[in-house]
A = this chain, B = another copy of it.
Amino acid sequence: MAIPDQVSAEPIDAAQRPVHKGRLEAFSDGVFAIAITILVLEISLPAGAEDELLRAIADQWPSYLAYVVSFSTIGALWVAHSVITDHLVRADVVFVRFNLLVLLVVAFVPFPTALLAEQLEEEHLARIAATIYGCTLLAARLLIYLLWTYALRANLVGPHGDREILDLTREFTPSFAGYLTMILVGLLFPFVAVLGYLFIAVVLMLPFGIERKGR
């Protein structure tokens, strides 16, 4: 597992000591996979709805919507994370810690998701829930971006050609504009903001090539 990552044999500064990226990927994959899968646990069974089951199931639409939006968002974060580690030649000790910070926010997503699902139908409460939700997603995206910026500055990224790296970086920027706009929109129209978060996640996952051609 990840044995060929370690290349340098000369004595180096401990802070830049290379780290096998294999376990970092395995652990990160685990956290992403669990965070994305336990989202379903937040969908509660329609309780006490013996005779109008179909209606009770339909009334839970905010839970299904929240599930789809959070699944897409964590999925898009995982895609960005795997693109980053694919480009890594090696990890260093700072990268490993930074990565834990990213995972701390990703693993937190199920909580604002459940909050949103609970409050989406009452507009006044939905505004609060949608704001907290949007800030969490923005924080996750921002940390992924900073992780990538760190990797570039610390020379952890291999020579894949300047253009591709530029594309990857450009990818991150419009997402912030999107999240910030939707957080503001959510203060007035929380439901629209939730659809916006879904839209951002889907656009972020569009194959990079197709997205670029659109410009």
Contact = CB atoms under 8 A, between A and B. Distances in A.
A148 to B, nearest CB: 16
A20 B207 contact: no
Contacts of A78: 27, 100
B23 A23 contact: no
A14 B208 contact: yes
B207 A14 contact: yes
Contacts of A174: none
**Copies of this protein in the complex:** 4
Interface residues of A, number: 76
A33 interface: yes
Given A14-B208, A27-B33, A38-B37, A119 B53 contact: yes
Contacts of A96: 79
Contact of A205 (B22, B29, B100, B208): B100
Interface in A65-114: 67-68, 71-72, 75, 78-79, 82, 85-86, 92-94, 96-97, 100, 103-104, 107-108, 110-111, 114
A37 B105 CA distance: 10
A38 B36 contact: no
Contacts of A39: 107
Interface string A2-27: 11100000000111110110111111
A128 B53 contact: yes
16 contacts: A13-B209, A14-B209, A25-B26, A30-B32, A33-B33, A34-B37, A35-B37, A38-B40, A39-B107, A53-B119, A54-B128, A75-B100, A93-B209, A97-B205, A97-B207, A100-B205
